[in-house]
Amino acid sequence: MRRNPIFIFAPAMVMLIFGLSLISQPQAFGKQHEIIKEQILRTEAKTSIVQAQSFDSFLYQRFLTDIAGSEAVVVNKLRPLNPLDFAPLEMRELKSSESLENPRSLKMVATAATALEALANEMFLAKAGQLFMNSGYRSYDYQLELFESKTEQYGLAGALIRSAKAGHSEHQTGLTMDVSVQAQGCAIMQCFGETKGGKWLADNAWQFGFIVRYEDGTQAVTGYTYEPWHLRFVGKNIAKLYHEGDFSTLEEFWGYPAAEFYEEEITESTID
């Protein structure tokens, strides 16, 4: 017995037409699609092995304190640069202007140089003085010679609280500048902190990403005497948190131990 073809193909055709009509309708499978999409996203999130951390994360920023080329790097008597003879890649000379004097063509890391030029301009507009560049980037070899010179001048004990050993200097990072205001005197002297320019820097440097690294009364933590002229660039984000938290050393800010002495000094005193 032969069947009429119409009875064989009609049901399939009806189902096909019905299905096409559903698909052609807007939002026909909207809810189902969203559910499937949501499930896919959840699965991807669960199976993700590494998730990028925000720069605002304290732990991520603290990780950067070990990186010699980072603005967050912490270098002191217990934390040498790695490598010890590190040299920054991108530096440039600071531009002299009515607000900034750089007769020795001193250099810094480019971002720090730009920030210091902006700081000097604002300081000049505030009538706090023209910023003078005394000492910027120092190479490993230069710092080695400088420390030897300080040792001859002050003896080893005196040199240890006035200058860093090569590989332990903030100047080697390219993020530091020793400054003064020539017209106000006290260049590279503690009395600079009492000048109009020194006071302005102590109050306002953080707004441009700088801190006075070695504040008065912090030698037991930093290992160095008071240096109101020593500006260290850490970036605006860290400088703002540092200022708002009323911190006076990077060691305390990051939760690192005091670094009054070098490891070899501690070892020698223990042996004695």
Active-site positions? 227
Token representation of residue 124: 């000049």
Backbone angles phi, psi at 259, to 5 degrees: -125, 55
From the centroid of its chain, how far is CA 180? 24
Place of tokens 């660039």: 233
The neighbour count for residue 184, using CB atoms within 10 Å, is 18
Written as one letter, the residue type at 111 is: T
Radius of gyration, alpha carbons of the chain: 31
